[in-house]
């Protein structure tokens, strides 16, 4: 084996089929870009048709990207998206449950809508979308080539912050433990379930933190590495977990945060 083919053998995802929810922007788009550029066929999904089409156009020059707009905050939505994938693919090697929302309010003001909307999307939908796609994940999986479910959590699930995002931290911490449980229960199906817990990445969700140049500089200076997360950080870890190189990891939560959880 040449050096290049050994590298592809170890880290390659070429020819694999992936679904990235919330792939129209932010971290999901970064992950989708990395997977497409590495040669996977990547389905992306989010609610807004135009945003999906725009992302599909943006990634088309790099390879195979297909957008399927869908709201997955309900069980019915998860079924619709899973059916759309099933109509196109017999197998699914990589499922990235990335779509997420947050909501911050004082503890006295926090209301049921802010609870239910976040828990439905950030905790319930990763479970039911994965459940509906299990036939395709099982079809892709073998002892030699394990399928990979990657749930996108947050450093907020590991360490309290000043954000007052109560339902979000509960949902994301729940997602970490749910993933460990699923890793156990899907072991014999050769399906790995891991969590990436991102630190700060520029996106619509974090836009208020860099609304002005001055604020951006101040916030960036507070990060241990003095920089925001980049496409390579989110995509690199996803590719690693989806490839042979990451095959021996399951049930773990990996912070992708430039040291924020342990050092910051
Ligand atoms: N950015 C960070 O620093 C950071 C840090 C820690 C964790 N995270 C996590 O990383 C993930 C991505 O966050 P982000 O910062 O990239 O956020 P973002 O820019 O707001 O992107 C969220 C994505 O989810 C989609 N989405 C929202 N509601 C949906 C629904 N009901 N059904 C389907 N898709 C939906 C959005 O598209 P539509 O609006 O078109 O639906 C968008 O594509 C989230 O799980 C978030 O909790 C982010």
72-127 per-position pLDDT tens digit? 999 999 999 999 999 999 999 999 999 999 999 999 999 999 999 999 999 999 99
For residue 72, the ligand 1 atom closest to its alpha carbon is 32
37 neighbors 14 (Cβ within 8 angstroms) = no
Looking at residue 182, its pLDDT comes to 99
Looking at residue 264, its pLDDT comes to 80
Looking at residue 213, its pLDDT comes to 97
> Catalytic: 168?
yes
**Ligand 1 mean position, distance from CA 247 (Å):** 26
Looking at residue 183, its pLDDT comes to 99
Distance CA 109, CA 86 (A): 42
Per-domain boundaries in the chain: 11-256
CATH architecture type of domain 11-256: 3-Layer(aba) Sandwich (3.40)
**Active-site residue, selected from the candidate residues 43, 62, 166, 168:** 168
Residues of the chain with pLDDT under 50: none
Looking at residue 1, its pLDDT comes to 84
Looking at residue 122, its pLDDT comes to 98
**Ligand 1 mean position, distance from CA 142 (Å):** 31
């Amino acid at each position: 084996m040449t050096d290049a083919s050994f590298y592809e053998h170890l880290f390659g995802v070429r020819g694999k089929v992936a679904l990235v929810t919330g792939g129209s922007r932010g971290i999901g788009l970064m992950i989708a870009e990395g997977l497409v550029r590495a040669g996977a066929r990547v389905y992306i999904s989010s609610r807004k048709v135009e945003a999906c089409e725009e992302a599909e156009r943006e990634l088309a020059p790099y390879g195979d990207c297909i957008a399927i707009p869908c709201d997955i905050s309900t069980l019915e939505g998860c079924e619709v998206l899973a059916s759309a994938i099933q109509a196109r693919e017999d197998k699914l090697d990589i499922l990235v449950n990335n779509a997420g929302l947050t909501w911050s309010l004082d503890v006295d003001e926090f209301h049921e809508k802010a609870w239910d909307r976040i828990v439905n999307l950030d905790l319930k939908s990763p479970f039911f979308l994965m459940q509906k796609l299990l036939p395709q994940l099982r079809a892709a999986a073998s002892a030699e080539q394990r399928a990979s479910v990657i749930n996108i959590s947050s450093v907020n699930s590991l360490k309290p912050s000043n954000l007052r995002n109560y339902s979000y931290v509960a949902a994301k911490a729940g997602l970490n433990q749910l993933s460990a449980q699923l890793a156990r229960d899907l072991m014999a199906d050769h399906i790995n379930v891991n969590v990436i817990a991102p630190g700060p990445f520029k996106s619509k969700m974090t836009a208020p933190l860099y609304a002005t140049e001055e604020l951006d500089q101040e916030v960036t200076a507070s990060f241990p590495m003095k920089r925001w997360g980049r496409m390579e950080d989110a995509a690199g870890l996803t590719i690693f977990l989806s490839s042979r190189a990451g095959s021996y990891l399951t049930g773990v939560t990996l912070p992708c945060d430039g040291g924020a959880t342990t050092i910051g």
